[in-house]
Amino acid sequence: MADFKIALIKGDGIGPEIVDGAVTVLDAVAKKYGHNFNYTEVDMGGCAIDKFGTPLPQETVDICKASDSVLLGAVGGPKWDNCKERPEKGLLGIRKALGLYSNLRPSILKKQLKDASPLKDEKLANGLDVMVVRELTGGIYFGERHTAEDGSWASDEEKYSVEEVKRIGKIAFETAMLRNKRVVSVDKANVLDSSKLWRKTMTELAKDYPEVTLTHMYVDNAAMQLAINPAQFDVIVTSNIFGDILSDLSSAIAGSIGMLPSASLGATKCGMYEPIHGSAPDIAGMDIANPIATIVSAAMMLEMSFGLSAEAKAINDAVDKVLDMGYRTTDIYSDGMKKIGCKEMAALIAENI
């Protein structure tokens, strides 16, 4: 029996629905395995702007830092588009506050959803299992920003240090050691000085991992190769902005963005776990959102932050069992399947733990 403190950031749009679904499944795990998961709800994003006038209240930061890990739904929406501080600023801020410099996004095409992929069957003959390792606290998203007073120009700085590249590279190489020992480092070294530094640092770091094969790829070619032959990839490591784009592309190949989890990690066991999709305000409150990405994000939390591998496997096995039974939310529905809502999907997965 173990006790864990989990900070819940439900956020905006469908966030509360999908986080509630994950909690339903976590409670089933706790009951079966004799653990105590102690939840504390905190505000971030648009809901925090409405309540506190800021997307990231200090209380939220303090509670997250005092927790064993954080489970996040989604933030943002058109309601806050014209706010001085957008909801997404809270997301960037909490990552920085918790020191979460790496984002792991697995893109796995489940056999039950092969027909949902936009790629032809022959391109998926060898399956799809790609891990995108995205640098999370550097690069253009955190660089200096400037806008001319007359609005005639604007600039954003892309900047990386050797240490920032090395630490994300280590995550990628160590992840590859647990997989198929192949790393593709994605950059734009034919144009950008920051990418030249990135490539040089990755090449030097690779000497510490002789069992891993390192190759380099320009980001435009990487996007094309993901669409042409995704099976060639094992681990992709790249910068913040390139990782943001490529991980969404890899998720689309897997059939639905509603299926895929992510883990944001730093130097400690405390991480932040979230689905890779957004807040989908257009379907909020309709009970049609897919909670699976959040549920399997919770499974990643159990394994990576809490060391509960058997419990994580129980969640993933339950997801597979429910899909094998033919149950689908709207985003993954096809003819002949059983269409269900967000709450029912979570309940069925919990029942099959």
**Is 141 annotated in the active site?**
yes
Which residue among 10, 43, 141, 331 is the active-site one?
Answer: 141
Options 20, 27, 156, 248, the catalytic residue: 248
Q: Is there a catalytic annotation at residue 244?
A: yes
> Which of 220, 269, 282, 338 does the annotation list as catalytic?
220
Considering the candidates 43, 187, 244, 331, report the single residue annotated as catalytic.
244
81 is known as an active-site residue = no
Catalytic residue among 188, 209, 273, 331: 188
- Cα 74 to Cα 59, 85, 175: the distances in Å are 19, 17, 26
Residue 301 has phi, psi (to 5 degrees) of -60, -45
248 is catalytic: yes
Catalytic residues: 141, 188, 220, 244, 248
